[in-house]
Homo-oligomer: A and B are copies of this chain.
Amino acid sequence: MKKQQNILIIGAGLCGSLLALRLGQRGYNVSVYEMRPDLRKVDISAGRSINLAFSDRGNKAMKLVGIEEKVKALCIPMNGRMIHDKEGHTFLSNYSGRDHEYINSVSRGGLNALLLDEAEKHENVSIYFNKKCKSVNFKKTTALFKDYETKSEFVEDADVIIATDGAGSAMRKSYYLAKKFLFSFSQDYLTHGYKELSILPTKTGDYKTYKNALHIWPRGSFMLIALPNLDGSFTVTLFLSYDEGVYNFNNLTTPEIVSEFFQKEFPDALSLMPNLIEDFFKNPTAPLGTVKCSPWHYKGNTLLMGDSAHAIVPFYGQGMNASFEDVVEFDAILDQNSGNWEAVFKAYEATRKKDTDAIADLAIDNFHEMKDHVANPIFQEKRKLEMALEQNFPNAYSSKYSLVTFHENIGYHEAMTRGRAQDKAILNMIADKSIPTSDMTKEELKVILKSVQQETNNILEDDRIAGLKQ
């Protein structure tokens, strides 16, 4: 492939700006068109999550482009889940039994700005703002844009178009509507929506509650979570059904009923949120959707990447990490120098799609885990045992959460398959009372580890035979 080829990227969000940076580093001529204004000049946070979970798969991408240290400065480590019950009691459940494994809260805007700055350092990368993509002609490799400033429309062509324009992707819509090839597509909404709220800093700029955790108020069919920001505030998110249950988004229509709901369900959070009512009625309620599709590419002309190809719900904290990992995987395929773009796109989808499908499913699982299971005694026993196994046998055991979050050299699909089998093994061993779950010596733990490994392998083997796969 000639290096001087022109690549057009639609969307300068987290994925698009990272991709522009990486392709710029590789020497391509890169033009990026973004529909929003430049977030380094204008505050455009409204309607999108303010902070995000950043972990090892995302960091692998930062290492690839050489900005790991700069990103670290934007991060607040979260070592575990701080679980709040209705009485205001809290308990911390670590994400890993290994001290060096934790996730981070990172500012979306701060990280995006850094990626844009780094990309623009390359003179072969140009970024244009306020240009909305309306459609893509994937047969001609051209894209139609509307310029929000001049109100005019214009067409750009390129050797290759890569759409990183998010869950509502214009190019994906063009694939769907054109009916020029068989396009498998799904959009699946949860019956729950979400609304962002906030815990502001104290007057002296301090955090009002424990900084280094992801706070969860699990209530079975709904939940509240909070992630810290660098300025001492927390971004709080309420996940709640639109129309089911005693309280839901459709009936939380007055300040009185919202206060009553929080007083009853989240009294300790409410005491930190004098601004609740204002936030609640100012901020939008947004849906939670999963998007899957295939193929991601049209021949060697166009490719979907990031959320445009695989939007997921936020409950595993992997949305941004998965999109960053897309760029790492794509880069590895480019290294293989497959000779032409169609071969590159085909190889990329063939290796990547099983993994993005898996994280989509895992994220749905984690919705139920976070709002419900974390408060379930058998689940808590499992986590306690897994912490002990990870602490005592750091090289021999990793929980599903660790496999997904901290093992960036294992794909999501393998992490899911192995992690689910482990969960099933341990939950059944606990339910059968075939293993103790507290006060174990290291020797006893070693026996348990062996049983868990053996039972996990049995489960995988039984599934393999049932699937008649050789």
User: Which residues of A are interface residues toward B (Cβ below 8 A)?
Assistant: 182-189, 242, 287, 289, 292, 368, 372-373, 376, 378-379, 420, 423-424, 427-428, 431, 462-463, 465-466, 468
6 A-B pairs with CB atoms under 8 Å apart are A182-B242, A183-B189, A186-B187, A373-B468, A423-B466, A427-B465
Minimum C-beta distance from A282 to chain B (A): 22
Closest to A369 in B: B468
Minimum C-beta distance from A223 to chain B (A): 16
Contacts of A428 in B (CB 8 A): 462, 465-466
Q: How many copies make up the complex?
A: 2
CB < 8 Å: which of B287, B292, B368, B468 contacts A379?
Answer: B468
The 7 closest A-B pairs by CB, nearest first: A186-B186, A424-B466, A182-B189, A184-B188, A431-B465, A184-B189, A428-B462
Q: Which of A242, A376, A468 lies at the interface centre, i.e. has the most chain B CB atoms within 10 A of its CB?
A: A468
Minimum C-beta distance from A156 to chain B (A): 27
Closest to A432 in B: B465
Minimum C-beta distance from A75 to chain B (A): 32
Contacts of A188 in B (CB 8 A): 184, 186
Minimum C-beta distance from A51 to chain B (A): 25
CB < 8 Å: which of B287, B292, B368, B468 contacts A427?
Answer: B468
Minimum C-beta distance from A191 to chain B (A): 9
A187→B462 CA distance, assembly (Å):
31
13 more CB-based (< 8 A) A-B contacts, given A186-B186, A378-B465, A424-B463? A182-B287, A183-B189, A184-B187, A184-B189, A373-B468, A376-B468, A378-B468, A420-B466, A424-B465, A424-B466, A427-B468, A428-B465, A428-B466
Closest to A292 in B: B186
A160→B368 CA distance, assembly (Å):
36
Contacts of A424 in B (CB 8 A): 462-463, 465-466
CB < 8 Å: which of B185, B372, B427 contacts A186?
Answer: B185
A301→B20 CA distance, assembly (Å):
48
Minimum C-beta distance from A4 to chain B (A): 32
A466→B186 CA distance, assembly (Å):
27
A289→B423 CA distance, assembly (Å):
34
Contacts of A431 in B (CB 8 A): 465
Closest to A193 in B: B182
A11→B200 CA distance, assembly (Å):
57
Contacts of A372 in B (CB 8 A): 468
A188→B184 CA distance, assembly (Å):
4
Contacts of A468 in B (CB 8 A): 368, 372-373, 376, 378-379, 427
Closest to A378 in B: B468
A187 close to B189 (CB less than 8 A): no
Minimum C-beta distance from A332 to chain B (A): 24
B466 close to A427 (CB less than 8 A): yes
